Structure 1
Amino acid sequence: MRLSRFVSAASAFLLTAALALTGSGPAHAAGPVYVALGDSYAAGVGSGSYDDSRGGCYRSLRAYPRLWANAHTPSGFSFTACSGADTTDVIKRQLGPLNASTTLVSITAGGNDAGFVGVMTTCLLNSSSACLRRIDRARDYIENRLPARLDALYDAIGSRAPAARVVVVGYPHFYKLGTSCIGLGASKRRAINDAADLLDTVTAKRAADHGFAFGDVRGTFAGHEICAGPAWLHNLTLPVYESYHPTASGQSGGYLPVFTAAV
């Protein structure tokens, strides 16, 4: 009996040592290495609780990338999205954390390339005809120039992080139509929503052609647009830079579930 117990113990020791050496023991999957890129919608402008250590980017603790990271504890997380960024800014200033070990990337970008700020400023301060002309300029840019800029951005992401799942997250409709609403008239609101549709359509196509996923947030924001209640987008507000951006509820209820489903 003593000899058999000794043999059994020795066998167990040798097996444990062999497994340790060969790495064939029970596996524990590491969490993803996640990098969050993009513009003010990705940074969380409008949702408050900003990390002011990042100099003007207004990255929020309530932005969808941080909310996802808090819930899923990735093994690595880099949040480089920044207010005001267009696709070229993302390439030049945000891609540093990407590498062959990156396994997950989120990106919301393209609205600043298309002139979002100029559209809203023109439509707020000028006539319907001036607003519609400015929107037409934005639509022309989205159709004819933005695809190449998105291709350059997606190529850069893919080359730096070839193993990553990339989720391109779009933009919501800004306005609930068919309701009475203080501010812009119905024709302006409809034209802005139509331009958002075009931006999402072009972005989704470029994402698909690069093998990336597309997260469409128009569904989750339905019923929560400006002129709806409760709205998940700010109307014209103070501070002005938060105007026409998702609230904290828009990030958690509109963006987060779409990104989570796409991961």
Structure 2
Amino acid sequence: MSRRVRTALAALLAAVLGAVVVPGVAQAATVNYVALGDSYSSGVGAGPYDLSTCLRSQKSYAPLWAAAHSVTSFRFPACGGAVTADVIGGQVGALSTATTLVTITIGGNDAGFADVMTSCRFGSTTDCENAVGGAKAFATNVLPGRLDATYAAIRDRAPNARLVVLGYPRLFETGWCGLLAMSSYKRTILNQAADVLDGVIAARAGAAGATYVDARPFFAGHGVCAADPWIHDVSGLVEAYHPDADGYRYGYLAALTSAIG
């Protein structure tokens, strides 16, 4: 056998052996994960928080998922109070062509989440009805365009990433909750508004080719007024109507894991 033939056979053997996957040995995938969004992604309500003004918590679903999956890289620009313009104008800067996974919650602040909750908690039934009606109209008529622009900006910066859009939970149980609580009627129409918002987000995520994750089933039975609530009431001003640490772990993290592993 000539030296040239032996050399060719050796190269072929090396190539074949290099392509063999050893049974039982998992091949580690590169996961470059970026968590975008508002307070429901940054972890408001879970605490403790970083030193930024964004109230980022390592007990939010995003860092919990990253830690459980030993990701290659993790970036966490999600920020409490963020609207779609903040994601487009700033947060997408954390993305690149190397990004393989993006998660996001966004849209609630665009629809006036804080003002609606304040109107319903401290205002009259009419105040609450008007605030909820305005938020539902905004979510139906204006928010779709803003979401489309946001998802397009993410796709532009991270064309190789899987985009996962998480919705919002219903915040309330509607049974008896004490004399000082919001009425069952107010809690019901707020939950209905959450359903409208989630429906819009799901539709626009689908149109963008993203994976939509419905958080509502995972929080069911654990809203404000539940025996074991995972949502803060008004006891903490900043954290009011946000998940607590259990909500992020057993609600959002469980929802995300059910969708993508």
Give the TM-score taking structure 1 as reference length. 0.89
C-alpha displacement at 1:76, in angstroms? 1.1
The CA RMSD measured in Å over matched residues stands at: 2.1
Which runs of no fewer than 5 residues in structure 1 stay unpaired? 1-9
Question: 2:216 is matched with which residue?
Answer: 218
Offset at residue 94 of structure 1 (A): 0.6
Q: Secondary structure at the match of 1:95?
A: helix
Query: Where in structure 2 are there 5+ consecutive unaligned residues?
Result: 1-5
Please state whether the residue corresponding to 1:34 is helix, strand or coil: strand
Please list, as runs of the form range in 1=range in 2, the aligned pairs for 1:59-78 lying within 5 A after superposition: 59-78=56-75
Q: Write the distance in 1 (CA, Å) between the matches of 2:175 and 2:227.
A: 13
Contact 2:164 2:213 in 1 (8 A): yes
* Residue number in structure 1 paired with 2:150: 153
| Matched position secondary structure for 1:35 | strand
Aligned sequence identity (%) = 47
CA distance in 1, matches of 2:19, 2:212: 37
Q: Which residue of 1 aligns with 2:188?
A: 190
The equivalent residue for 1:122 is: 119
1:48 and 2:47 are equivalent in the alignment: yes
CA distance in 2, matches of 1:92, 1:16: 51
Per-residue deviation, 1:18? 4.1
- Whole-angstrom distance in 1 between the partners of 2:124 and 2:219: 28
Question: What is the CA distance between 1:61 and its match in structure 2?
Answer: 0.8
Aligned-partner Cα distance in 1 for 2:97–2:177: 51
* Residue from 161, 164, 168 that aligns with 1:164: 161
SS at match of 1:77: strand
Given the superposition, is the C-alpha separation of residues 16 and 64 from structure 1 closer, same or farther in structure 2, using an over 3 Å criterion? farther
1:125 to partner: Cα distance: 2.0
Task: Give how far 1:25 is off.
Answer: 6.1
- Cα deviation per residue 1:217-262 (whole Å; 9 max; x = unaligned)? 1101011000102100000012x10011000000000000111122
Residue identity matched to 2:113: F
CA separation of 1:78 and 1:23: change in aligned 2, threshold 3 A: farther
**How far does the alpha carbon of each residue in 1:157-178 deviate from its partner, in whole angstroms, 9 at most, with x for none?**
1111111111100100111013
Matches within 5 A, 1:1-263: 14=10, 18-19=14-15, 24=19, 26=21, 28-52=27-51, 55-181=52-178, 182-238=180-236, 240-263=237-260
CA contact (8 A) 1:168 1:215 kept: yes
Task: Work out the CA distance in 1 between the residues paired with 2:27 and 2:247.
Answer: 34
Distance 1:16 1:252, change over 3 A: farther
Q: CA separation in 2, counterparts of 1:261 and 1:190?
A: 27
Name the counterpart of 1:3.
none
Query: Which runs of 4 or more aligned residues in structure 1 lie more than 2 Å from their structure 2 counterparts after TM superposition?
Result: 14-20, 22-31, 178-182
SS in 2 for 1:96: helix
